[in-house]
Structures are given as structure tokens and as C-alpha cells.
Chain A
Amino acid sequence: MDEMVQAALLFWIPALALVVGTGTALSSRSQSIKLLSKIIALTGFLFVLLSPMTVPESPSSAAGHLLGSIIGPCALLITGIYLLAFSGNVEVGKLSSTDRKIGSASTFFGLIWLEGMHWWTWTPMLNGEVNPYWLVFWPTFLILSTGLSSGAAFALRYLGDSRENESNFMLIISLLTFSLTVLGMMLDGPNISSEIFRNHFWLAASDIFGIGIGVGLSILVFAMVIWIYESSLPPVNILDEPSKQELAQAASIIANHIGGEQE
């Protein structure tokens, strides 16, 4: 089979199925469509995961390899944060203290695993080289985490009421991710040198900036279309003032409903 056709069948169509299936599963109201979308998304996901073995010559299959490499720590982090959040002081559906311990351990090991991918030998390697998409994922994750955590810290402080402790907690997360990025820029890891990390830091920053402007521009274009249509709508017909007779009738109906004498 032709390489392009193979890549289309074993990577691109499953990737499309994963994106479309997830979107439909989240947005559809019909239970049967939801179930079908989940099956489609899961099948697409499995094919993308297997792409380094099914289409090893396609450069895009490195994304499937990355997905397989980061799914473990990401699942641990998501599960850990969920367990920690819902084993705290929540009114409904509070989880047990054992869940809290499991959540703490999951978050901790998830973070260590991700860190080990940069600072130890757990780096996603493909054909003897660092997976190129890991060098997209890791700096993007660090830059956004430090920025968003800092934003969350200030939002808690300025929008919340007596939320200084929570704000400080978020500042610690922001500082931690900030320090990890600076360390990556200055110290060599076993597989990623500080120079390579710095280069990819700039590229990731360019990606974030470009995506932000692109998304903002498209929102602006469609907002303009809606604004043009909305401003061209004909004005609403204004009714005549009610006559004295109509007012009297309305008054009697209201009096009947609030007086209660007839019941």
C-alpha cells in the first residue's frame, strides 16, 4: 500500500475520528449518538496510539508515540487532582480520606513522572532520538502552567473574599513551574541539553502567541459578521399606549388575583 494512503488510513482518519468523536460525545443530547461517538473516539484513540507500530515511516506517528508516553503521568495527575478536590470540604459527593491519600500520591507520582521525562532517562525516545513532539509539549505546558497559575492566584486574591491562603498556594505552583523552566534553560538533562530546551522554549512561545492571535482574529471576524447582522435588524414595533378602558380592565383583573375575596 502507498505510504500516504497507509498514513491516512492508520493515522489521519483515526485522529479525525478521535477529535470528532470527542466533540460529538460532549455536545450531543441523544444517548445513542453519545455512545456511538465514544466508541468512535476510543477506536480512533487506539489507532493513534498504535501508529508508531502501524505506520512507523510517517513522521506524524511521533504524535501517537508521545500520546502513549504521556498518557500515564497525565492520567495520574488528572485522577489525583480530582480525588484531592472532591475529598476536601464539598457539600455533595465527598470522597473518603483514603481517596485523599490516593489523590496526593497520584498527583505526586504524576509530577515526578513528567519531571523524570526531562531530568532523567524517561524522556520519550523514538528511533534513538528525543520525540520531537515532546519538545513541543513540555515547554508549552510549563509556560502556560506558570502563567495560568499566576493568573489564578491574582484572581483569587482580587475577586475572592479572604482567599489569601489559596492565592499563595497557586503562587507556589506558578513559582514551581517557573523555576523548572529556568532550570531547564540553564542545566542539561540526560537527553535534552539546556540549549535545545531554550530553542524549543522560544518555538513554544511562538506557537502560543500565534495560536492566540489566530484564534482571536477568527473570533473577531465572526463577531463582526454577527454585529453587522444584528445592527441591521428592523426596529421592534412599538405598541400604542393602553386606553383608559384597557387600563381599567387590567386593574380589575389584577385586583381579582391579589385580593383573594372571590375564593
Chain B
Amino acid sequence: MSDIAKTWKVIVMAISFPPIMLMIIAALLGDDISSQAFKRFGNALITGYTFCAGILSVNMFFYADSRNRPMAPLFGMILATLTGAMVTLWLLSQGDLLLEANGSAMAQAFSNLVRILVSSMAMMMAVVISVGGVFVAITSRPKRKLFEEE
């Protein structure tokens, strides 16, 4: 394995390690919410997929235009819809995806939309903290000499 691949592996592990440790601690403290957690996972997966597929479908029009492939957006949308339908059917076959507070699929869809927006805000703030922290750490350090004068 090349050095750069090893480095990326270490970084991915470093990102995953603290959340995994937190999950272990939470599991040791012992709560059984597996059914609720699966429902939230399923809803988040479908919402995240739909959101991102929508954005990428729009981008396919730019791709079709630049590479002279007019059918590419249609093909992309059909494939995305089929994959989405298959994933949804698989999730539904594992159990009901409606959370307690939502009585209908439509109410659940609206609730998912709001939750993904709130989660996105939290994600953006986490990125601000981590990326901003890196900038603050780098610029707080005194200037380094790049070359020694002869």
C-alpha cells in the first residue's frame, strides 16, 4: 500500500474512532432503542439519498450539455429512481418506518425534511469548528523560516 493510501486510512480511522468509542460507552450504559434507531436510520438514508440525487440530477443537465449526451439526465434519473425504490422497498421489508409522532407517510416525509435541515445545520457548525480550528491553530503560530540566509 502506498504512503498516501496509508495516511488516508489513518485519517478515516481518526474520524471514526471517537464516535465509535462514544457508541461503545453509550452501549455500556445500556439502553434499548434499536427499533427507533433503525427507523431513524432508514428515514435518514431515504431523505439523504433523495436530497443528493435531486442535486446530482440537476448537475446531469450540465454534464449532458458539455459532453453532448442529451439522454444522460433521463438515464440518470431512471437509474436513481430504480435504486431509490429498491432501497425503500428493502427498508420497508425490515419493518415500519413511521416514527411514533407521525401518523402518515406524508407527515413523516415533512418531518424528515425538517430533520435533515437541522442535521445539516449541526454538520455545518461542526465543520466550522474543526476547519476553523485548524486555521486558528495554523495562523496563531509564529512565522516559520523557510530558508536560512547564507
**Which residues of A approach B to under 8 Å, CB–CB?**
12, 15, 19, 59-60, 62-63, 66-67, 70, 74, 77-78, 81-82, 84-90, 133, 136-138, 140-141, 143-156, 158-159, 162-163, 165-166, 169-170, 173-174, 177-178, 181-182, 185-186, 195, 198-199, 201-215, 217-219, 221-222, 224-226, 228-230, 233
Least CB distance from A173 to B in Å reads 5
Q: B93 interface residue, CB < 8 Å from A?
A: no
Residue in B42, B83, B141 whose CB lies within 8 Å of A165: B141
Given known contacts A159-B7, A199-B33, A206-B37, is B140 in contact with A84 (CB within 8 Å)?
Answer: yes
Residue in A66, A162, A210 whose CB lies within 8 Å of B45: A210
Residue in B80, B110, B126 whose CB lies within 8 Å of A218: B80
Given known contacts A81-B133, A214-B52, A218-B52, is B21 in contact with A178 (CB within 8 Å)?
Answer: yes
Q: Which of B43-70 contact A (CB under 8 A)?
A: 43-53, 56-57, 59-60, 63, 67, 69
Q: B122 interface residue, CB < 8 Å from A?
A: yes
Least CB distance from A28 to B in Å reads 14
Chain B interface, number of residues (Cβ within 8 angstroms): 81
Residue in B18, B57, B79, B137 whose CB lies within 8 Å of A147: B18
Assembly CA distance A186 to B28 (angstroms): 11
Let me know if A151 and B37 touch, CB within 8 A.
Answer: no
Let me know if A195 and B130 touch, CB within 8 A.
Answer: no
Residue in A145, A146, A170, A219 whose CB lies within 8 Å of B52: A219
Assembly CA distance A233 to B69 (angstroms): 10
User: Please, what's the 1-or-0 string for B90-122, where 1 marks a CB less than 8 Å from any CB in chain A?
Assistant: 000000000001000000001100111111011
Residues of B within 8 A of A212 (CB): 48
Q: B1 interface residue, CB < 8 Å from A?
A: no
Residues of B within 8 A of A140 (CB): 118-119, 122-123, 126
Residue in B15, B23, B56, B135 whose CB lies within 8 Å of A148: B15
The secondary structure that dominates the B interface is: helix
Residues of B within 8 A of A165 (CB): 137, 141
Let me know if B47 and A146 touch, CB within 8 A.
Answer: no
Least CB distance from A183 to B in Å reads 11
Q: A136-B122, A173-B129, A211-B116 are in contact. List 6 more A-B contacts (CB 8 A).
A: A59-B101, A133-B114, A145-B125, A208-B44, A218-B53, A229-B67
Assembly CA distance A159 to B93 (angstroms): 45
Given known contacts A144-B123, A151-B11, is B136 in contact with A229 (CB within 8 Å)?
Answer: no
Let me know if B126 and A145 touch, CB within 8 A.
Answer: yes
Let me know if B115 and A133 touch, CB within 8 A.
Answer: yes
Let me know if A225 and B117 touch, CB within 8 A.
Answer: no
User: Please, what's the 1-or-0 string for B127-144, where 1 marks a CB less than 8 Å from any CB in chain A?
Assistant: 111111111111111111
Let me know if A211 and B47 touch, CB within 8 A.
Answer: yes
Given known contacts A158-B10, A218-B56, is B126 in contact with A148 (CB within 8 Å)?
Answer: yes
A-B pairs, 9 with minimum CB distance: A210-B44, A88-B139, A214-B48, A144-B126, A81-B132, A151-B15, A214-B49, A148-B130, A140-B122
